[in-house]
Structure 1
Amino acid sequence: MGTTLPTPLYAIYSGELGFGVLTTTIIFAVYAAGVIAALILFGRWSDVVGRRPLLIAGALFSIASAVVFLTAGPIWQLMLGRVLSGVSAGIYAGAATAAVIELAPASWRSRAPAIATAANIGGLGLGPLVAGLLAEYGPAPLRTPFIVDLVLLAVVGVGIWFVSESVDVTPGARPSVQRLSVPAEMRGVFTRASIAAFAGFAVMGSFTGVAPSFVSQIIGIDSHAVAGILVAILFLSSTIAQIVGRSVPTERALIIGCSLLVAGVLVLIGGLVAKSFVVLVLGAVISGAGQGLSFSKGLAAVVGASPEHRRAEVTSTYFVVAYVAISLPIVGQGFAAAHWGLQTAGEVLNSAVAVLALLALVWTIIEARRTPADA
């Protein structure tokens, strides 16, 4: 939740510090640098030193991020806060998900991955919703959300302290840097899954980074709560789609997910052209569902095709591709907005995303027809 708290607050920061959409996208995008650094540097640590130390470290990075935002003045502090938040998210992407699955009671074991998914993506959706409502209706809009975050993190910290360790730690074992690579025999599966993930995360990054600017500058609704609700809808839709789609066969779910992503992005473009908030909400629902299905089932396809002894590095590589999609396209959108205007930049980015999603869709359909038994 803490990683997306700043989303509806960027408009306030830009007004107080005097920066535009380009700077907003850069501040948002450096978060991905923190995530990628954590995935590479700490991706294998919890397997060696245990889940609990990494969970504590992730909470401490999240606390540090909230403190930086709470005291933020110049732009560099906002960027530092985003990097720290990204490191926290990168640590939790692996360690917390594994801990939830390993610590779940036997009767909950089959539901544990869905619970981890809901906590992850659902938390991302709660961030802009909570911050938007507090900024609109509470005191000190740039302070209150992070005070609430720190209170919640204090509770989390106490809880983690008493969590049982789920890994048998080998004395003297040393953690190593996570290697990124994809075996030659599965590069086709990895590439088409990564294209779909890239498209979905590009939409997610665009929404999380500049949705408040869309709402205020294009739609004409000057409300932090409305901006936060719009972003939350995208994440909520993604969460529901991932949970509901758990039992759908991988190839079929990928086809459905990519189809929804193409349709949702086209609806988003229509919302920008028509300057309609209702159409943007509809686009967020459809795009979110498409992103959730295509990403989760793409991950399932990648994991299923990976050799067991290389599964961690392939999975980390998949996540790195996804988080690159959160950063580079949105910075490109910021540059485009500075030259062409926010609306044109949004239309161009979403058009490119639609093409990528369509490519992944066509490729998946071809593969499904070639190997119908696996579909």
Structure 2
Amino acid sequence: MREDGGADPAGQRGWLRCLLAGAVFVVCMAGTTLPTPLYPLYQQEFGFSELTVTVVYAVYAFGVIGVLLLAGNASDTVGRRPALLWGLGFAAASAGCFLAADGLPWLYAGRLFSGLSAGLFTGAATAYVLELAPPGGASRATFVATAANMGGLGCGPLLAGLLAEYASDPLTLPFVVHLALVAASVLVLLRLPETVTDRRPLSAVRPQRPALPPQVRAVFVPSAVAAFVGFALFGVFTSVSPAFLARYLHVDNHAVSGLVVALAFFASTAGQLAVSRVGVARSLPLGCAVLLAGLLLLGGALYTDTLALVVLSALVGGTGQGLAFRAAIAAVAQAAPADRRAAVISTLFVVAYAGISVPVIGVGLLADPLGLEGAGLVFIACMLVLIVLAAGYLLRRPVRAEARR
């Protein structure tokens, strides 16, 4: 608003651009979780095992990690818009692979392209949203970026589940719709301004090596464990929960399966937003405690085959993941020296995305001899040990006060 009480056109224009960039962010992230409620249909179509489902899912994480290590700072070099346009290109390629899928290789390729897209978008789109906001709007812009990231991840399974259940061609229509949204996002992005002034050619992009300076290690250990467990919980939810719901709870409605997964991501958004009120120093141990409760609820759901406990575990576990992960990023960023901050945060993301891949494949390996329920209970027991160790570490060596800012 202007001092005379009228609307500020420049501020309104800035918020419109910020929200449009956030909408593009939503579209990209939704594509990365779009196949989630469709995995049981692919199993019927191609006849593969639970292990294969988890490997197909985990390929995504390998794509993200590869981009983070090789081109995590690409948007700082070539500009935000070129990096995001490449990300949308990979998103379109992913949708194209799923549309053409007549066997497993297409699914692997689709998930790999999806990971490349998310790897480019996660940092670049967050920075772009913040930079497009008008002066003094950093807090609201952070909300837009957080909601777009996790909310987009939640919209993917919800959209695919609804289309698969209530429209025709469940393995085609979701990806056609997403391609249309990607095309619209390209048009939006081309109308938005570039925010990087010192742009350099693509050849100037250099691999970003993980870093862990000595002064960061005390904070990094519990932060990394909490991030690993939170992302592992999301990985299991998004890869095998639709099959568990269908096989053991007889929930064959794809919209319900998509909604259960979406709830975890929406709860994570709420948890991340709560950090600004709770404070980083308290949010990290609190997030660990809430994650612990979410894991116990998931264990109860697997043991008793109770849908209500599955929903509760999604809500509670998602909230704990959001609290712990945003607090972990803030704590690690505060502890890292300024000239190595990006590399340290990239290291944390590498650990987090390892949580999406390694434990999920472990569940797939155990699903054949133990069944999905038994494999899930083993996974929960391992994650409980890790999160209890992280919580114990934090009780002995709490996050320093300066990390609260």
Shorter-chain TM range is over 0.9
Against the structure 1 CA distance between its residues 324 and 21, is the aligned structure 2 distance closer, same or farther, given a 3 Å change threshold?
A: same
Match of 1:254 among 276, 280, 284: 284
Against the structure 1 CA distance between its residues 44 and 345, is the aligned structure 2 distance closer, same or farther, given a 3 Å change threshold?
A: same
Against the structure 1 CA distance between its residues 371 and 104, is the aligned structure 2 distance closer, same or farther, given a 3 Å change threshold?
A: closer
Match of 1:338, as an amino acid? Answer: D
Q: Could you tell me whether the CA contact under 8 Å between 1:251 and 1:364 is conserved in 2?
A: no
TM-score (norm 1): 0.97
Q: Could you tell me whether the CA contact under 8 Å between 2:162 and 2:254 is conserved in 1?
A: yes
Spell out, residue by residue over 1:253-307, the C-alpha distance to the aligned partner (whole angstroms, 9 max, x if none).
1111100000110011001111000011011111000000001100110111110
Distance 2:175 2:134 in 1: 33
Q: Could you tell me whether the CA contact under 8 Å between 2:54 and 2:240 is conserved in 1?
A: yes
1:154 and 2:189 are equivalent in the alignment: no
Structure 2 counterpart of 1:205: 235
The 5 Å alignment of 1:165-204 reads 165-171=194-200, 174-204=204-234
Distance 2:69 2:262 in 1: 29
Match of 1:290, as an amino acid? Answer: G
The 5 Å alignment of 1:9-48 reads 9-48=38-77
Q: Could you tell me whether the CA contact under 8 Å between 1:266 and 1:351 is conserved in 2?
A: no
Q: How many residues align?
A: 374
Match of 1:20, as an amino acid? Answer: S
TM-score (norm 2): 0.90
The 5 Å alignment of 1:1-375 reads 1-171=30-200, 174-368=204-398
Q: Could you tell me whether the CA contact under 8 Å between 1:265 and 1:283 is conserved in 2?
A: yes
> Secondary structure at 1:147's aligned position in 2?
helix
Shift of 1:247: 2.8
Query: 5+ unaligned residues in a row in structure 1: which ranges?
Result: none
Distance 2:353 2:176 in 1: 27
> Secondary structure at 2:361's aligned position in 1?
helix
Distance 2:62 2:50 in 1: 19
Distance 1:184 1:76 in 2: 43
Q: Could you tell me whether the CA contact under 8 Å between 2:330 and 2:403 is conserved in 1?
A: no
Shift of 1:373: 7.8
> Secondary structure at 2:397's aligned position in 1?
helix
Distance 2:381 2:257 in 1: 22
Q: Let me know the Cα RMSD of the aligned residues.
A: 1.4
Shift of 1:92: 0.4
Q: Could you tell me whether the CA contact under 8 Å between 2:334 and 2:402 is conserved in 1?
A: no
Distance 2:48 2:391 in 1: 38
Match of 2:163, as an amino acid? Answer: L
Q: Percent identity?
A: 46
Shift of 1:171: 5.0
Match of 2:108, as an amino acid? Answer: M
Spell out, residue by residue over 1:58-104, the C-alpha distance to the aligned partner (whole angstroms, 9 max, x if none).
01000111111111111010000000000000000111111111111
> Secondary structure at 1:3's aligned position in 2?
helix
Spell out, residue by residue over 1:303-336, the C-alpha distance to the aligned partner (whole angstroms, 9 max, x if none).
1111000011111111010001000100000000
Match of 1:150, as an amino acid? Answer: L
Query: 5+ unaligned residues in a row in structure 2: which ranges?
Result: 1-29
Q: Could you tell me whether the CA contact under 8 Å between 2:281 and 2:401 is conserved in 1?
A: no
Shift of 1:108: 2.6
Distance 2:271 2:154 in 1: 14
Match of 2:220, as an amino acid? Answer: F
Q: Could you tell me whether the CA contact under 8 Å between 1:25 and 1:210 is conserved in 2?
A: yes
Distance 1:373 1:36 in 2: 30
> Secondary structure at 1:179's aligned position in 2?
coil
Distance 2:85 2:95 in 1: 15
**More off after superposition, 214-223 vs 116-125:** 214-223
Distance 1:22 1:373 in 2: 44
Structure 1 segments of 4 or more deviating over 4 A? 170-173, 370-375
